Structure 1
């Protein structure tokens, strides 16, 4: 998906699979696989462009009170949900690819793309947990440079060649075959992050950009920088520009959804969200305030039926 004048695509980062205290709702603590399946099926029916899953291997005790230790594996999670959906795409938001050798990452995600009939979007990011890198033998200090090379290596390893070739500073491979190949001729790579290095990486190496949840007021400047960098590099291919919206609630809530939450009629929500398209955003990642799985799926269905047609 590269965006179009017709409107905004919309996707969702799945609840339950990551439970940071920053965004997790209380009901998620007791939720599990059955809830994820129903949410994914709702997304599929309600026109969501993608469902997304995060990536962390191990959380140190110092960060666990804020981040929790609940982080489902994204490949396993998305593969499970691929089997119960038919059209919604499967996004890693984001895979910390520097934690693993690119051929291992390629094997996992190529298989996911093959099994899902070509629905993978590979979102990548640098990571931020030093202990996670240390225990896996990865260099935290060089994670940006490693990620830059990983994107190049993954382009080769997820391309059409059975025997991909990459010769770089950190990784070197040739003459090693991997099948199955991805179903897609070119797996989209979306780069996450809003720091200057991340924006530059997205501009020069990405098919899409996944910001970190920047406020609307900052997005125009970042999008302008993306475009400037791509123009200077002579890159003419389209870039899917993303944004994470404010929390949403379709309708008038009967409970306190928080002052930052956008709520109200479908028309009012659509009008507010269309402003993202006006500043150059192609896809929005939405999140709904909810007190239960059923309230979430009701919100998703209402969004797909009543808000999305006016985006």
Structure 2
């Protein structure tokens, strides 16, 4: 099971120097991958959770690819309806090529109503648009010259080169906790990427739902690659009142053991707590927490 870290690409402390330091900590501490979040328009519903400035993830990952050598790089999650799939496919393929095949494409439908409005998009259509855009992405990565004709996007004889280095394409992780996300992961993804879930939820609800979706579709269940919090505490936390990855270090280690037993191939650890915490200039403290965790998680 591979373990990664979210790099906070938002907030006043997220400077170029800080982001470079984050990449170095993740790589030097022995973690396997890093991921960054996505917002395009920092509207009030976005900044209420993730204060600005917010770094655009594909630009940032291109930079981080150049200052790292080993770790995989990804999005948690790229909001698919926000970008034309022709541009998205080309940007991601370029990232995968320039990082020597280290890209992981975490995707989702988005949630910020004000942000959809700022981009002139209908949030009520985000699920169906996401499905079609993902199919277009996969088509563009499948051949050198591609045509695609759908309801939301259509193009003819587009030269899609350079295609991704990793074949047939970088792994696609479908984010989201609901039934629609599980169905989308079965149909279009290599992994299901549930986000910040309570203790016991995956075993009791999430994975049975994923298996049911796979059985209904007549397809194999995708891999499990969850994002869980990294919130160590000095005191023991009761399981009925905590998220996976929250509590004493021994509780967090036990959570990772359970995820390994459930078949998780990757686990992403997320240090983000809330907007107030993110607005503080405490990235040095957060990186120290990650370095410390690398020791007691080993």
Shorter-chain TM band = 0.7 to 0.9
Instruction: Pick which of 241-250 and 175-184 moved more.
Output: 241-250
Q: 1:223 to 1:69 in 2, by over 3 A?
A: same
User: Which of residues 158, 171, 176 in structure 1 aligns to 2:141?
Assistant: 158
Counterpart position of 1:26: none
User: Which of residues 11, 20, 30 in structure 2 aligns to 1:37?
Assistant: 20
Q: 1:18 to 1:199 in 2, by over 3 A?
A: farther
User: How far off its partner does 1:63 sit?
Assistant: 5.1
Q: 1:42 to 1:146 in 2, by over 3 A?
A: same
Q: What is the distance in 2 between the residues matched to 1:286 and 1:104?
A: 29
User: How far off its partner does 1:138 sit?
Assistant: 2.6
Q: 1:169 to 1:306 in 2, by over 3 A?
A: same
Q: What is the distance in 1 between the residues matched to 2:46 and 2:294?
A: 36
Are the aligned partners of 1:209 and 1:241 in contact in 2 as well (CA < 8 Å)?
A: yes
Are the aligned partners of 1:191 and 1:201 in contact in 2 as well (CA < 8 Å)?
A: yes
User: How far off its partner does 1:195 sit?
Assistant: 1.7
1:216 aligns with 2:208: no
Counterpart position of 2:161: 179
Counterpart position of 2:4: 11
Secondary structure of residue in 1 paired with 2:78: coil
1:227 aligns with 2:211: yes
Are the aligned partners of 1:240 and 1:282 in contact in 2 as well (CA < 8 Å)?
A: yes
1:297 aligns with 2:287: yes
User: Which of residues 271, 277, 286 in structure 1 aligns to 2:260?
Assistant: 277
Structure 1 unmatched runs, 5+:
1-7, 20-28, 254-258
User: How far off its partner does 1:280 sit?
Assistant: 3.5
Are the aligned partners of 2:46 and 2:115 in contact in 1 as well (CA < 8 Å)?
A: no
Q: What is the distance in 2 between the residues matched to 1:46 and 1:145?
A: 40
User: How far off its partner does 1:147 sit?
Assistant: 0.4
How many residues are treated as equivalent by the alignment? Answer: 281
RMSD: 2.5
User: How far off its partner does 1:91 sit?
Assistant: 0.9
User: How far off its partner does 1:36 sit?
Assistant: 1.0
User: How far off its partner does 1:38 sit?
Assistant: 1.4
Are the aligned partners of 1:248 and 1:262 in contact in 2 as well (CA < 8 Å)?
A: yes
User: How far off its partner does 1:306 sit?
Assistant: 4.1
Q: What is the distance in 2 between the residues matched to 1:84 and 1:153?
A: 31
User: How far off its partner does 1:200 sit?
Assistant: 1.3
Q: What is the distance in 1 between the residues matched to 2:270 and 2:124?
A: 32
Q: What is the distance in 1 between the residues matched to 2:152 and 2:45?
A: 30
Q: What is the distance in 1 between the residues matched to 2:111 and 2:228?
A: 22
Secondary structure of residue in 1 paired with 2:25: helix
Q: 1:66 to 1:300 in 2, by over 3 A?
A: closer
Are the aligned partners of 2:89 and 2:137 in contact in 1 as well (CA < 8 Å)?
A: yes
Structure 2 unmatched runs, 5+:
236-240
1:188-207 residue CA offsets vs partner (Å, 9 max, x unmatched): 11111112211211122211
User: How far off its partner does 1:103 sit?
Assistant: 0.4
User: How far off its partner does 1:268 sit?
Assistant: 6.0
Structure-to-structure mapping, 1:216-255, within 5 angstroms: 216-220=199-203, 221-236=205-220, 239-249=222-232
Counterpart position of 1:127: 110
1:181-229 residue CA offsets vs partner (Å, 9 max, x unmatched): 2111121111111122112111222111111211122112211211222
1:95 aligns with 2:50: no
Are the aligned partners of 2:173 and 2:225 in contact in 1 as well (CA < 8 Å)?
A: no
Secondary structure of residue in 1 paired with 2:157: coil
